[in-house]
Amino acid sequence: MPQYVQDRLNIYDAILLLQGLGNTVLLCVSGLGLGLVIALFVGLARASRSRFLSWPAAMYIEIIRDSPLLMQLYLIFFALPLMGLQVPIFAAGVATLMVNSSAFMAEIVRAGIQAVGKDQLEAARGLGMNYAQTMRHVVIPQAFRVMIPPGVGLLIGLIKDSSIISVISYIELTRVGQILTEKTFLSFQVFGIVAALYFLLCYPLSKLALHAERRLKVSG
Amino acid sequence: MVKVKNIHKHFGKLHVLDDVSLDVAKGEVVVIIGPSGSGKSTLLRCLNYLEPVQSGEIWIDGIRLDHHRTNIRAVRAEVGIVFQSFNLFPHLTVIKNVMLAPVVVRKRPESEVRKAALAMLAKVGLQDKVDAYPSQLSGGQQQRVAIARALAMQPKLMLFDEVTSALDPELVREVLDAMKQLARDGMTMLVVTHEMGFAREMADRVIFMDEGRIVEEGAAADIFDHPREQRTKEFLGKIL
Distance between CA atoms of A84 and A80, rounded to whole angstroms? 7
* B chain contacts of residue A147, beta-carbon cutoff 8 Å: none
Compare all CA atoms of chain B with the CA of A124 and give the residue at the minimum distance: B101
For residue B25, pLDDT over 70 is answered with: yes
For residues B202, B206, B210 and B212, what is the CA-based torsion angle, rounded to 10 degrees? -100
* B chain contacts of residue A216, beta-carbon cutoff 8 Å: 91
Share of chain A above pLDDT 70, in %: 96
| Length reported for chain B | 240
* B chain contacts of residue A125, beta-carbon cutoff 8 Å: 50, 76
Strand blocks (E) in B152-197: 157-161, 188-192
Q: CB burial class (10 A; 0-12, 13-18, 19+) of residue A58? A: middle
Distance between CA atoms of B129 and B94, rounded to whole angstroms? 7
Question: In this predicted model, what pLDDT tens digit does every residue of B27-77 receive, in sequence order?
Answer: 999 999 999 989 999 999 999 899 989 999 999 998 888 777 778 888 898
A124 to chain B nearest CA, in Å?
A: 8
Sequence-distant (6+) residues with CB within 8 A of B104 are A129, A133, A137
Contact A175, A169 (CB under 8 A): yes
Instruction: Check if A115 contacts B (Cβ < 8 Å).
Output: no
Question: In this predicted model, what pLDDT tens digit does every residue of A180-213 receive, in sequence order?
Answer: 999 899 999 999 999 999 999 999 999 988 888 8
Query: What is the structure's pLDDT at B4?
Result: 94
Query: Residue A110: helix, strand or coil by DSSP?
Result: helix
Query: What is the structure's pLDDT at B71?
Result: 81
Compare all CA atoms of chain B with the CA of A217 and give the residue at the minimum distance: B91
Query: What is the structure's pLDDT at A8?
Result: 84
Query: What is the structure's pLDDT at A217?
Result: 67
Given B69, B91, B104, which is nearest A220 (Cβ)?
Answer: B91
Where do the domains of chain A lie? 11-219
Compare all CA atoms of chain B with the CA of A143 and give the residue at the minimum distance: B91
* A chain contacts of residue B83, beta-carbon cutoff 8 Å: 119, 122-123, 126
Query: What is the structure's pLDDT at A9?
Result: 86
Given B50, B149, B153, which is nearest A122 (Cβ)?
Answer: B50
Contact B39, B22 (CB under 8 A): no
How many Cα atoms are found within 13 Å in the side-chain-facing hemisphere of A98? 16
Query: Are A125 and B50 in contact (CB < 8 Å)?
Result: yes
Query: Are B101 and A129 in contact (CB < 8 Å)?
Result: yes
Distance between CA atoms of A160 and A157, rounded to whole angstroms? 5
CA-to-CA dists, residue B56 to A65, B8, B19, angstroms: 48, 6, 8
Residue A197 CB neighbours (<10 A): 19
Arithmetic mean of pLDDT, A162-177: 95
Contact B27, B34 (CB under 8 A): no
Contact A157, A149 (CB under 8 A): no
For residue A142, pLDDT over 80 is answered with: yes
Distance between CA atoms of A174 and A151, rounded to whole angstroms? 24
Contact B19, B216 (CB under 8 A): no
Given B77, B88, B91, which is nearest A128 (Cβ)?
Answer: B77
Sequence-distant (6+) residues with CB within 8 A of B171 are B138, B139, B140, B143
Mutation pick from A116, A127, A144 vs chain B, by most beta carbons of B within 10 Å, is: A127
Instruction: Check if B117 contacts A (Cβ < 8 Å).
Output: no
* A chain contacts of residue B105, beta-carbon cutoff 8 Å: 127-129, 133
Q: CB burial class (10 A; 0-12, 13-18, 19+) of residue A130? A: middle
Superfamily of domain A11-219: MetI-like (1.10.3720.10)
Angle, CA of B235, B238 and B240, to the nearest 5°: 100
Query: Are B89 and A138 in contact (CB < 8 Å)?
Result: yes
Beta bridge partners of B206: B31, B218
Closest CA to B55 of B23, B15, B2: B15
Query: What is the structure's pLDDT at A3?
Result: 63
Contact A129, A137 (CB under 8 A): yes
Q: What is the CA radius of gyration of chain B?
A: 18
Query: What is the structure's pLDDT at B15?
Result: 92
Compare all CA atoms of chain B with the CA of A126 and give the residue at the minimum distance: B76
DSSP track, B13-31: TEEEEEEEEEEE-TT-EEE
For residue A158, pLDDT over 90 is answered with: yes
Query: What is the structure's pLDDT at A219?
Result: 54
Closest CA to A35 of A100, A91, A116: A100
For residue B159, pLDDT over 90 is answered with: yes
Distance between CA atoms of A135 and A45, rounded to whole angstroms? 12
Compare all CA atoms of chain A with the CA of B94 and give the residue at the minimum distance: A219
| Phi then psi dihedrals of residue B10, to 5 deg | -120, 140
Compare all CA atoms of chain B with the CA of A140 and give the residue at the minimum distance: B91
Query: Residue A183: helix, strand or coil by DSSP?
Result: helix
Q: pLDDT-derived band of residue B106, with 50, 70 and 90 as boundaries?
A: very high
For residue A1, pLDDT over 60 is answered with: no
Distance between CA atoms of A155 and A31, rounded to whole angstroms? 11
Instruction: Check if A215 contacts B (Cβ < 8 Å).
Output: no
Question: In this predicted model, what pLDDT tens digit does every residue of B6-15 receive, in sequence order?
Answer: 999 999 889 9
Between residues 129 and 168 of chain A, which touch chain B (CB distance below 8 Å)?
Answer: 129-130, 133, 137-138, 141-142, 145
Distance between CA atoms of A185 and B71, rounded to whole angstroms? 74
Distance between CA atoms of A44 and A114, rounded to whole angstroms? 10
Query: Residue B11: helix, strand or coil by DSSP?
Result: strand
DSSP track, B59-105: EETTEE-SS-HHHHHHHHHHEEEE-TT----TTS-HHHHHHHHHHHT
Question: In this predicted model, what pLDDT tens digit does every residue of B169-193 receive, in sequence order?
Answer: 999 999 999 999 999 999 999 999 9
Q: What is the largest CA-CA distance in chain A?
A: 86
Contact B94, B49 (CB under 8 A): no
B93 to chain A nearest CA, in Å?
A: 8
Mutation pick from B88, B98, B100 vs chain A, by most beta carbons of A within 10 Å, is: B100
Share of chain A above pLDDT 90, in %: 85
Instruction: Check if B73 contacts A (Cβ < 8 Å).
Output: yes
Question: In this predicted model, what pLDDT tens digit does every residue of B180-235 receive, in sequence order?
Answer: 999 999 999 999 999 999 999 999 999 999 999 999 999 999 999 999 999 999 99
Query: What is the structure's pLDDT at A2?
Result: 59
